[in-house]
Structure 1
């Protein structure tokens, strides 16, 4: 049985597991579930992506002439975190480097996840710290899957994404081939909205490197979900090709490796480099709206 911590307020109730520090449930005051239930189409809820986002060529990290096997999205989502704090309003968890992580990723690190609910808003702050003697290269991403259609709404095609902070008539997107960053695509935004339908993801995820905004809204008649983030500079949108009852809204710092790149991990496009003793924090939040 999962080691869960439940917390919240009068408007939102969340559950987080020690396994992967993963959000497992997000219910509103009426008891409606806003998070995907990890069904057969995709068996996860909201994994933490670390120390990579996406894939490396041949699932191989190269550093100083050595090769390490590091598979898609890294290992944090499959590791048990230690509890640092458990309270009525949230929790804190930690993952530190050990022999197993060093065999795949040869860098000491500390990854802290802090979850809170306040005033009807769920927030997650991830802090990466470098306790080692050398530089720490990494990427980090959130991968929450929300119910699609939203609670109280009828059809997936009645939903749209809007980006309140920026005026855009199209999205400058990249698509994936074999999990690696490949072709560029311009996705139109009629009236500043991205109409949603399952076929949008037939070519897999929509990757938005260097996305200019820091907020989005998933809207449908009868409900809306708002998300914001800080520290993350890239954005991913994904649902299972062929259709499923979820939509992933993913703030990222880093993306999959580009097609044709296969160098030292320190030189990977988009990777963050932390100096010894340094730390960097990233946060995202979400709120649910119903009439």
Structure 2
């Protein structure tokens, strides 16, 4: 059975499961939990870590040097039991390493660590990927945290996403879970998007470029969550229409393109590490005080 590790300070209490190193709750000192609760009526996820792919592969099949491997949407890390490596009052680290089971899905020797740490009202979630093999290792890495919509205490208020860079990034629509090769006009105006469930009628909003390194998710005249992204150039927003959550998803890597390359190394925004190399990816979310 998965175990839960709790980290806390005077502002926040955060619970993390050993299954997928997935955050289960993020509670401020007023008792409000800002994270989605995983209600199976809508979606059982809460904050999965996506590895070694983000999104889908055609027919759930990756090619690595021409050899097929079956990998489900968003990869296998979220379904694996991690080992608790370190823990203190305000931080913990979970790790996952290559096994016979992972090699059958992804033929590389890797180490993936996921750190959760608190600094005042800010939570940072960081993933570090290390290539422990002798050959170049391609992968995608993403985060998929789901926060309440409406935010606590903000029922009935309009909710918005405001990009720090004020941009209007083009949307790349999904076709059966794969990225279309076309770009659609941006739903942002001057970096601002007013959220509406109708926006998600055709799946997630995916912005492969120009969404920047930070944003604010807020209720007008109410609470706000601010985000900063490290080494995560792609952004997606997602919910199931009518569901009371919004996923703010920073990625490095996307789903395969419809009709595009099937090789893992050729997927959009794939990272490839040489032997012994590692890469870090992180987001920080700051909660109301």
TM range (shorter): over 0.9
Deviation (angstroms), 1:171 = 2.7
Q: Which residues of structure 2 form unaligned runs of 5+?
A: none
1:269-280 equivalences in 2 (<5 Å): 269-280=268-279
Q: What's the counterpart of residue 123 of structure 2? A: 122
Q: What's the counterpart of residue 258 of structure 2? A: 259
Q: Which residues of structure 1 form unaligned runs of 5+?
A: none
Q: What's the counterpart of residue 36 of structure 2? A: 36
Q: What's the counterpart of residue 174 of structure 1? A: 172
Deviation (angstroms), 1:287 = 1.1
Q: What's the counterpart of residue 198 of structure 1? A: 197
Q: Tell me how far apart the structure 2 counterparts of residues 279 and 171 of structure 1 sit (CA, whole Å).
A: 29
Q: Tell me how far apart the structure 2 counterparts of residues 262 and 210 of structure 1 sit (CA, whole Å).
A: 19
RMSD: 1.3
Q: 1:110-152 CA deviation, whole Å, 9 max, x = no partner? A: 0011110111110011100011010110000000000110011
Is the deviation greater in 24-33 or in 256-265? 256-265
SS of the counterpart of 2:198? Answer: helix
Q: What's the counterpart of residue 81 of structure 2? A: 80
Deviation (angstroms), 1:48 = 0.5
* Alpha carbons 1:57, 1:262 under 8 Å: kept: no
Is the deviation greater in 214-223 or in 69-78? 214-223
Q: Tell me how far apart the structure 1 counterparts of residues 188 and 209 of structure 2 sit (CA, whole Å).
A: 18
Structure with a larger share of its residues in strand:
1
Q: What's the counterpart of residue 96 of structure 1? A: 97
Runs of 4 or more, structure 1, over 3 Å off, are none
Is the deviation greater in 231-240 or in 210-219? 210-219
1:13-32 equivalences in 2 (<5 Å): 13-32=13-32
Q: Tell me how far apart the structure 2 counterparts of residues 191 and 69 of structure 1 sit (CA, whole Å).
A: 41
Q: What's the counterpart of residue 159 of structure 1? A: 159
SS of the counterpart of 2:78? Answer: helix
Q: Is residue 141 from structure 1 mapped to residue 142 from structure 2 by the alignment? A: yes
1:212-223 equivalences in 2 (<5 Å): 212-220=211-219, 221-223=221-223
Q: Tell me how far apart the structure 2 counterparts of residues 9 and 167 of structure 1 sit (CA, whole Å).
A: 33
Q: What's the counterpart of residue 69 of structure 2? A: 68
How many residue pairs end up in the alignment?
286
